[in-house]
A = this chain, B = another copy of it.
Amino acid sequence: MRMSKRERQRRIKQAFMDDPFLTDEEMAKRCKVSIQTIRLDRLELGISELRERIKHMAENHFDRVRSLLVEEVIGDIVDLQLDHSGVSVLEIKKEHVFARNQIARGHILFAQANSLAVALVNSEVALTGSAEIRFIRPARLGEKCIAHATVIKKKASRLQVDVKTKINGEVVFQGIFYVYRLEDDELVPANEEEH
């Protein structure tokens, strides 16, 4: 006996979830029905065509990857005086927040502040050594976070940087970052060579 319509549609839905790259033709073969039936099913299930599915995926991922990964720095550094102070702006977008409550994940605010603190160091390469941070109130979707960083102490290769992040003038995040310049000989990767 053939599969019922309901059952087939359930399977189709699942199959497209598992592999969004399936064409109707492939799907028709798998279900042993005609291609038209598959198309009617997609219509009823509100599943868009292959190209649209792929495009959607690419679009989403594109934005997110761009905004979070490709950049070395999180947030726009709009002002920078090396070894002295700097300002960074970050608008909270949907890829920064918890889906359930639209609140920015902690590490996003941290990342903005950390990126800024590291950028302040007048050196080829700088790393964060330690930090003390406080999340004073949650940042929400759409809000614009402005982080101000100031170098408090300067000692050879170590800097103490204070960062305060505000939304509409209200402090939402505060942190003290101890950042250090990386010496060239420390740069050598774990697997020796290079020098």
Contact = CB atoms under 8 A, between A and B. Distances in A.
B140 A101 contact: no
A132 interface: yes
B57 A62 contact: yes
A184 to B, nearest CB: 10
**Copies of the polypeptide in the assembly:** 2
A132 to B, nearest CB: 5
Interface stretch (A32-40, A76-84, A110-118, A152-160): A110-118
Contacts of A68: 68-69
A interface secondary structure, majority: mixed
Given A58-B58, A61-B65, A98-B125, 18 more contacts: A54-B58, A61-B61, A65-B65, A65-B95, A72-B105, A74-B107, A101-B125, A103-B125, A103-B182, A107-B107, A107-B111, A107-B114, A131-B131, A131-B132, A131-B133, A140-B189, A141-B189, A143-B190
A180 to B, nearest CB: 10
Interface string A30-53: 000000000000000000000100
Contacts of A26: none
Given A129-B135, A135-B130, A59 B21 contact: yes
A69 to B, nearest CB: 5
A35 to B, nearest CB: 20
A125 B105 contact: no
A138 B127 contact: yes
Nearest to A74: B107
Contacts of A135: 127-130
Nearest to A125: B101
A195 interface: no
A102 interface: yes
A3 interface: no
A60 B54 CA distance: 11
